[in-house]
Amino acid sequence: MSGYHIVQDQMGRNVKVPRSPSRIISLVPSQTELLHDLGLDSEVVGLTKFCVHPDHWRKTKSVVGGTKKFRFDTIDGLKPDLIIANKEENYEEGIRELAGKYPVWISDIYDLNDARDMITSISSIVGREKKGREILDKIQEDFSVKVEPIGTALYFIWNEPYMAAGTDTFINDMMYRAGFFNVLPKGSRYPELTSEEITKLDPDYIFLSSEPYPFKEKHLQELQNICPNSKVMLVDGEIFSWYGSRLLKAHEYFETIKEGEAPAASPRVT
């Protein structure tokens, strides 16, 4: 069916999009992976330099910059009929400029329910409802398994200064669904913490994410010295923070954490 229709994004904005978008740009790595898994190889024409899954797309698609700095001339040359963005991962000024020229659908993700709504909406917009439903059914099956509480945890996303994921974040929801309770009080989404504050929090577990800061083995001892009683682990940041079809891998990965054998992902390229 040709023509356009009005859809609402997760910001409550009404967006006029083609019924069959054929020149899609994704500005969010996790949503780029979702588009691939929905079978949109020919429809996706542009992505960011951080869109590492699938790897071959960075060789065959146009790179339109990063998530916080767009190459507007490249985007204009691609003549997109749909741009998929995210409130937190992208920057307001750039999105505002793009939305003045192109249909821009923006996600806003705080928990698993938001992620499922996003997958449902994007699947519908791009005409892949059946495949989207298959992905959602598997995610629902995985996350319906009852998880026993394991302990308290602190999840770091940055170093110098130490910065952790607060309670009002998608990461926090994934921590909870893996069996861990965030020791941070309600407040800032990504607070900066001093060594003294970390010691006082005294979590059972400390998770060092592979992204956006690429924590490595050398950082384990630093945090272990600050919290001698905590179990410090490198973890795969994609599993905890990507809210697209990467969720299909979450349940199995969380099981490895329980066994203390969680492999950390390779950090994003910059």
Q: How far apart are CA 56 and CA 3, in angstroms?
A: 32
> Stretch 240-269: mean pLDDT, rounded?
82
Answer yes or no: is pLDDT of 261 > 90.
Answer: no
Q: What confidence category does residue 188 fall into, taking pLDDT thresholds of 50, 70 and 90? A: confident
Q: How far apart are CA 190 and CA 7, in angstroms?
A: 31
- What is the pLDDT at residue 227? 97
Q: What confidence category does residue 264 fall into, taking pLDDT thresholds of 50, 70 and 90? A: low
- What is the pLDDT at residue 267? 45
Amino acid identity for residue 48 in this structure: T
- CA 97 from centre of chain: 23
Pairwise pLDDT comparison (49 vs 1), residue with the higher score:
49
Amino acid identity for residue 47 in this structure: L
Respond yes or no on whether the N-terminal peptide bond of residue 212 is cis (omega within 30° of 0).
yes
Residues 6+ apart with CB under 8 A from 21: 43, 81, 82, 103, 125, 126
Domains and CATH numbers, the chain: 4-141 (3.40.50.1980), 151-258 (3.40.50.1980)
In the chain, alpha helices (H): 29-37, 57-60, 72-78, 92-99, 112-125, 129-143, 170-178, 195-201, 217-226, 237-241, 250-258
Q: ∠ CA 29-35-37 to the nearest 5 degrees?
A: 105
Tracing tokens 């997109």 back to the chain, one arrives at 80
| pTM of this structure | 0.94
- What is the pLDDT at residue 259? 78
- What is the pLDDT at residue 265? 57
> Stretch 198-205: mean pLDDT, rounded?
97
Q: How does pLDDT run across 60-115, given as a tens digit for each residue? A: 999 999 999 999 999 999 999 999 999 999 999 999 999 999 999 999 999 999 99
Q: How does pLDDT run across 206-216, given as a tens digit for each residue? A: 999 999 999 99
- What is the pLDDT at residue 2? 63
> Stretch 183-200: mean pLDDT, rounded?
95
- Tell me if 154 sits within 8 A of 215, measured CB to CB: no
Weakest mean pLDDT among 1-10, 128-137, 141-150: 1-10
Respond yes or no on whether the N-terminal peptide bond of residue 18 is cis (omega within 30° of 0).
no
